[in-house]
Structure 1
């Protein structure tokens, strides 16, 4: 079969290379839904509720390790257009996507299936992943897909707006930690990656997983779930579903940020 799963059609049974050992399969379990995910209204950080909003962000980061953000400043239409253009990219002909295929972590723009260790892993994860660098755009946009035709325009605007949003969050965190304004604006945040996971319909989700369990090693991550379920977090020793919140971003402070948090205390 083609390595890229997004090129597959009419998959009737799960290939053996995607079947996990019994002790790692999700099985038929119905996972509990995390009902108390912190929701941060970012507009309030610009008014009288700024101090309270900063404290909510710090509390959520320490107690949950993630939080949802509404009124983040990125328009709903841009969010929808961006998801649409990603879908168009994954629907492009196989030979076009193959031109971006690589497991080289240093490549500016790459697509692969499962993980970057595909050839060595014993079992594969049920996903394709498309990743490229975004900042500064002028250094990387020439490596982005030219098709679909509006990809570079829309994703370029989206990347800039998301970066502004994440720097706002980082500046609020630095203010709450008592470090100087703009602490995270320099070299520590100069690398910006966009990562798009694509999961085709699975004939038996009880036997496989969509991606590896992991802790984000970077400074901070933002996830746009749209209306797609499946994102899970480990809380108090239990895997729990996080339901998508319309037009919200899910923010995950990474391990680098936790190190800086420890150093500031």
Structure 2
């Protein structure tokens, strides 16, 4: 479990004492360093306007929740009825929820545990050590946070992959990920093993989702050239969690995401206009449909809207993204279009779509800007 900090009243105003003077601190100071200084109040640049705030008590008071589906990939051992059942469950989950828990997926538990330990170990390093890995450009590899808008999300990130499109070939960097992490000791080996195992799962899932869409195993890989990347998110303990958000409501901008949570609750997904908490399942991944799959699938599988609540206990997550190259053209697949089901979206070059993702004034439902017939 993470370190807990005192929780103050949601409406409590900032006072003198251990709060941070944001006028004198460096603007680029990372959130963990702010929290480590011993704050008792949330700095103003993290406080959400009242209409964006979410109380965990309010969220819990909505009553019993449905749970996102759980799909057992070990059923795939049977290439007959078992495989058909798994594909049918994928279809139902992607149509009804846009996400599901995946268990018995083939990534060893020891590999997952070692990678999470390495990630938490990095965020526990002294600030001087973390700073050695500071990101030099938005979307590049390293330690940083691309804050959007005037209000910041309550999290820090470590980009293992360079998402700016300028990564070195693996043969030149000599590692699976673009970032070579030499501290904490053993972290690089643990993360490399993890990345290679998760990438194999991503490739396998591209095949399964293709077949779930009624197409050949190579369908998605042909429509969207695959690129893989990982970002680790750390949500430090927050003294006033009802004033902030770990992540604003949004959809992911890739093909799909595999989320690896620690044991602390924080993720919520939107289902039928209601926010549903997603309790972690040990050694499971959360599969999340992202925007590019919704486009290529011609609106059949919906990109899931999700958010992250902050809390008094630290939380760490590894987000593994199936994305594509910047110059890839994304459009509804002709095989999934017809007179009865015409294309739902216009085509877009992925780098142009990414520019929209970085706009400060748009967070959720960004894909609607590309919908035809509006």
TM normalised by structure 2 equals: 0.65
1:6-25 pair list within 5 angstroms:
6-7=32-33, 8-9=35-36, 10-25=38-53
Aligned to 1:4: 30
Q: Which of structures 1 and 2 has the larger relative contact order (alpha carbons within 8 angstroms, sep 6+)?
A: 1
CA contact (8 A) 2:147 2:153 kept: no
Aligned to 1:168: 204
Post-superposition CA distance 1:159-211 (Å, at most 9, x none): 11111112212201112223232333468353211111111110010111001
1:1-265 pair list within 5 angstroms:
1=25, 3-7=29-33, 8-9=35-36, 10-27=38-55, 28-31=57-60, 32=62, 34-47=65-78, 48=80, 49-102=82-135, 104-107=137-140, 109-113=141-145, 116-117=146-147, 121-133=149-161, 137-138=170-171, 141=175, 143-185=179-221, 188-262=224-298, 263=333, 264-265=335-336
CA contact (8 A) 2:160 2:232 kept: no
**After the TM superposition, which of the residue ranges 168-177 and 76-85 deviates more from structure 2?**
168-177
Distance 1:130 1:171, change over 3 A: same
CA contact (8 A) 2:53 2:243 kept: yes
CA contact (8 A) 1:127 1:199 kept: yes
Structure 2: gaps of 5 or more residues: 1-24, 299-332, 337-374
Distance 1:74 1:137, change over 3 A: farther
**After the TM superposition, which of the residue ranges 133-142 and 163-172 deviates more from structure 2?**
133-142
Q: Distance in 2 between matches of 1:206 and 1:162?
A: 34
CA contact (8 A) 1:226 1:247 kept: no
CA contact (8 A) 2:159 2:179 kept: no
What RMSD over aligned residues (CA atoms) do the two structures have, in Å? 2.2
Q: Distance in 2 between matches of 1:110 and 1:34?
A: 37
Post-superposition CA distance 1:113-163 (Å, at most 9, x none): 4xx145xx2211111011122896545536321111212211111011111
Aligned length: 260
Greater Cα radius of gyration, structure 1 or 2 = 2
Q: Distance in 1 between matches of 2:236 and 2:274?
A: 26
CA contact (8 A) 2:101 2:286 kept: yes
TM normalised by structure 1 equals: 0.89
Cα distance, 1:15 vs. partner?
Answer: 0.9
**After the TM superposition, which of the residue ranges 28-37 and 154-163 deviates more from structure 2?**
28-37
